[in-house]
Structure 1
Amino acid sequence: MQTEAISNYIANMQLHISEAAYFQSTASWRQTDVVSDFNRLYYFLGEGAQLKIGEEELSPRAGQLVVLPAGTTLSVRTIDNREFSHYVCHFNARSGDQELFELLETPSCVTAANPEATARAFGELVRHYRGGELTSNLRAKLLLQELLCEFLEQGGGANLRRPAGGHVDKVSRVLAFIDHHLSDDVTLEQLAELAHFHPNYFIRFFKSATGRSPMQYMNQRRMEMAKQWMVETNMSVSEAAERVGSSLYQFSKMFKQYTGSSPSEYRKTMRAQPNV
């Protein structure tokens, strides 16, 4: 269930961009032993940079993304007076009280799958960040999300840092319990007890990790499973309702709220799709 916990943290992280820019670096590009309260995402279009992240030293190549996590001692400089261009974005990514790269262990440097597309995305991020349109900030955040997805995917995913910490362990325990009790009448008090929290605090704790209240999350998981059953099995609608602990009427009503279709209509539509 740690993968589930990581996925929820990533999906519900709150992004804030404090800078986004394109630079043509020269011999004067140098910072030594800097500690920032924001993360830095670089995309290199040329070669000639030397970075030190904590004790790790890197010389990124063109087409590589590099993350310098918040709170880490950083040094950057140009090698042999070379000139090269790169994009940079300063940002925070938090889910609850956790900064993304405090929680996740990832490579520092990855190679973009499609360098031209990544360069275009970063260029658009910079343009929107500096734009003044109504949707500029939102579009910049969406592009940063895409770039972070590229970074995580090309880096082979992510692992929880060790030790994982009580926050993540408690979320994992609760998520596992929910998945094993989708057909049961689970109470808020039961879930709060698993995390050793008062129910009122547990609601805030759970929502900071998943973006939903415990009951909203449980109902979502029930509908996700029901959608899978409708597409991948011949399970009857009444059996699906029973498996998520609901009456046929309530199940059909909730399913339609989540998908816009009745269970039978959803099954027919999805099975008609070419790849289903």
Structure 2
Amino acid sequence: MVTNIALAREILSKLIVEVIHVEYYHCTSDWRLINEIDKFNKLYFIIEGEGYGKIDNVEFQVHPGQFILIPSNSIHSFHSYENKDIVKYFCHFKSKTGDLELFDFLEVPYSVDVPNANSLIELFKQLIESFTSNDYMAVLKENTALLQLIMYYFEHIDNEEIRIAKTKSNEILSNVINYITNNLSKNININDLAELVYLHPNYFIKYFKKHMGSSPKNYMNKLRLEKAKELLLISELSIIDISKEIGYSDSCYFSKYFKKKTGFTPSEFRNIKRR
């Protein structure tokens, strides 16, 4: 059975990020954000100072070494304590997966304490340098640095604290992915998948593509290709048997499709990767 980790992997594999603004900033003791709502996400890394924070209904104390994530469209309030200026790095960004925002899919804690501030500061410095550069390669460096910041945040959270948001959309996607993964050897058609989640086939195709970034057919072919590669590397099954395992009754068609996607026949792939 596929776990929520499998769905999270699919979500993250489609992730596209965009930096809106990044800066090192000194907030004076009169700094205030009251019930603010933004269309973008925010990352704060607190260097100095203390204050109050609230994101949606979660309240917490702001302190040095704290890495804070504020998802888009969340209601958030922050302020410094009296005579306690706050020095921070911050980044405003968008993170799309398919047509939707990443944190509409994933629920994570709003803050983590960072044990090694120097490595995180270095990432922010790299991001600022790229963001303010006129070099034509800067946008690639910028996106890479932002992805590293997001990864750094996730790496400092226990897996149990990362949850798929309990929405109807995520329930539908999870059921479909479970079914496809557990039935790759079968002839799965769109009507079967649509019926599984009680949607009209035409609507289901649009719905799936919007959320997953590919059509159900392309997604199934991707999983079949990944499974074929795995079986070629870890098993001694014949090409004919592998093609049946992933739902292809015609092994010649499977071999042609495999070569089209990888540049190798299944036998060539097996031999090259096992050297």
Shift of 1:90: 1.4
Q: Where does structure 1 differ by over 6 angstroms across 4 or more consecutive aligned residues?
A: none
Query: Residue in 1 aligned with 2:257?
Result: 254
Query: Residue in 2 aligned with 1:231?
Result: 233
- In structure 2, the CA distance between the partners of 1:230 and 1:112, relative to structure 1 (3 Å rule), is farther
Shift of 1:47: 4.2
Query: Residue in 2 aligned with 1:159?
Result: 163
C-alpha distance in 2 between matches for 1:112 and 1:249: 54
**Structure 1 counterpart of 2:177, which letter?**
L
Query: Residue in 1 aligned with 2:83?
Result: 81
Q: Could you list the per-position Cα deviations for residues 10-62 of structure 1 after superposition, in whole angstroms to 9, with x for gaps in the alignment?
A: 32244333222111333233222222222211122334343222333333444
**Structure 2 counterpart of 1:172, which letter?**
S
Shift of 1:208: 1.9
Structure 2 residues not aligned, in runs of 5+? none
C-alpha distance in 1 between matches for 2:202 and 2:209: 11
C-alpha distance in 2 between matches for 1:251 and 1:232: 19
Structure 1 residues not aligned, in runs of 5+? none
Query: Residue in 1 aligned with 2:273?
Result: 270
**Structure 2 counterpart of 1:209, which letter?**
H
C-alpha distance in 1 between matches for 2:110 and 2:199: 36
Query: Residue in 2 aligned with 1:95?
Result: 97
C-alpha distance in 2 between matches for 1:187 and 1:250: 18
Alignment identity in percent? 29
- In structure 2, the CA distance between the partners of 1:113 and 1:11, relative to structure 1 (3 Å rule), is farther
Query: Residue in 2 aligned with 1:133?
Result: 135
Q: Could you list the per-position Cα deviations for residues 73-94 of structure 1 after superposition, in whole angstroms to 9, with x for gaps in the alignment?
A: 2222223423453211112323
- Conserved 8 A contact 2:98-2:213: no
Name the count of aligned residue pairs.
Answer: 270
Shift of 1:220: 0.8
Shift of 1:206: 1.1
Normalised to the residue count of structure 1, the TM-score between the two structures is 0.85
Mapping of residues 13-162 of structure 1, within 5 Å? 13-96=15-98, 98-112=100-114, 114-157=116-159, 158-161=162-165
Shift of 1:142: 2.8
Query: Residue in 2 aligned with 1:243?
Result: 245
Mapping of residues 139-218 of structure 1, within 5 Å? 139-157=141-159, 158-161=162-165, 164-218=166-220
**Structure 1 counterpart of 2:9, which letter?**
S
Higher mean C-alpha displacement, 221-230 vs 145-154 = 145-154
- Conserved 8 A contact 2:52-2:79: yes
- In structure 2, the CA distance between the partners of 1:234 and 1:123, relative to structure 1 (3 Å rule), is same
